[in-house]
Amino acid sequence: MPAAVSFDSVTKVFPAARGSGAALRALDGVSFDIKAGEFFGLLGPNGAGKTTLISILAGLARASSGSVRVLGYDVQRDYAQARKLLGVVPQELVFDPFFNVIETLRFQSGYFGVRDNEAWIEELLVGLGLADKANANMRQLSGGMKRRVLVAQALVHKPPVIVLDEPTAGVDVELRQTLWQFVSRLNREGHTVLLTTHYLDEAEALCGRIAMLKDGRVVALERTSDLLRSASSHVLRFTIDGSLPPELARRARVTGRVVQFPAQDALEIERYLAAVREAGLHAQDVEIRKADLEEVFLQIMGQHRLAAEVS
């Protein structure tokens, strides 16, 4: 059986705008396969090339070189077949303001030549918490509800490959839970899922394998469990009232009152705590834990940045 999605040496170069200098190489020889039935994560900082890669996969942009296949179908040569196999949830809230929710799903079914799928539409409405909004006009929905409809639209033709591009950006906890319960069920039933997200806790919990992009290149491609095992440090976490001295702050990840330091051993942990005390600060709620995916992500991105600076 062919890979669910195959990226083969995909490069995308955007020509320079008039008077702006060099062209932009958004993707630089990206290659990896996603197996059928995988829940796969595609991670990277802003500008890494994730959305460009998704756009090429969905047939919305052309690669400058290389190829992309969906279950063996080339997304350019066999566009119609490849597109029918994909359900894509975009980042942007794009909707038709003239229809209600159930009309929107029926029209979307028609685009793919799907008929007599009222039972599946009803299942989508219930599964995504939209049952009581079925007859509501799209303009009347909140941002979170519109996001649910976008997910339902992507799934209405029962695609074997589901692409979720930042599906929970800016939405509430309830929607996140509802969405992941439903999508996880589809994955267990055999659907392949490709997820891009900035919520790394979601990727850690859901994705069996992860690729990380930086500057248009794959800088990591591993099973999630192997990435977590490869972390070179533990994390010292505590809260403080006040600001760290600059020399400490440069080594820390600070979120409001929460401070986190990567620490190799007990001696390094004690040195950090001693430095905090010497700065006249009191560390509270101190804990030491294994590095999570966010720590691994920052570590890999930092290594790539240093390597680029050296070269």
Residue 18, pLDDT above cutoff 90 = no
* Secondary structure of residue 234 in the 3-state scheme: strand
Burial classification of residue 167, based on how many CB atoms lie within 10 Å of its CB (0-12 exposed, 13-18 middle, 19 or more buried): buried
Kindly list the structural domains of the chain, giving each domain's residue range(s) and its CATH number in brackets, ordered by start: 5-225 (3.40.50.300), 232-290 (3.30.70)
Phi, psi (deg, nearest 5) at residue 8: -125, 100
The strand pairing partners of 161, in sequence order, are 86, 192
For the CA atoms of 297, 300, 301, 307, the dihedral, rounded to the nearest 10 degrees, stands at 180
Within 189-223, residue ranges assigned H as helices are: 200-206
- Reported as a single tens digit per residue, the pLDDT across 284-293 is 999 888 878 8
Q: What is the dihedral of CA 182, 187, 189, 190, to 10 degrees?
A: 150
- Kindly report, residue by residue over 117-139, the tens digit of the pLDDT: 999 999 999 998 889 999 998 88
Write the CA distances from 232 to 201, 227, 229, 292, 298, integer angstroms: 19, 10, 8, 11, 12
pTM of the model: 0.84
The per-residue pLDDT for 311 is 47
- Say if residue 255's pLDDT is above 90: no
Residue-wise pLDDT for 257-288, tens only, equals 898 888 878 888 899 999 999 999 999 999 88
Q: Write the DSSP symbol of residue 23.
A: P
Q: For 167-220, how does the pLDDT look when each residue is reduced to its tens digit (9 = 90+)?
A: 887 777 887 888 899 999 999 999 999 999 988 989 999 999 999 999 999 999
Question: pLDDT tens across 221-237, in order?
Answer: 999 999 888 776 688 89
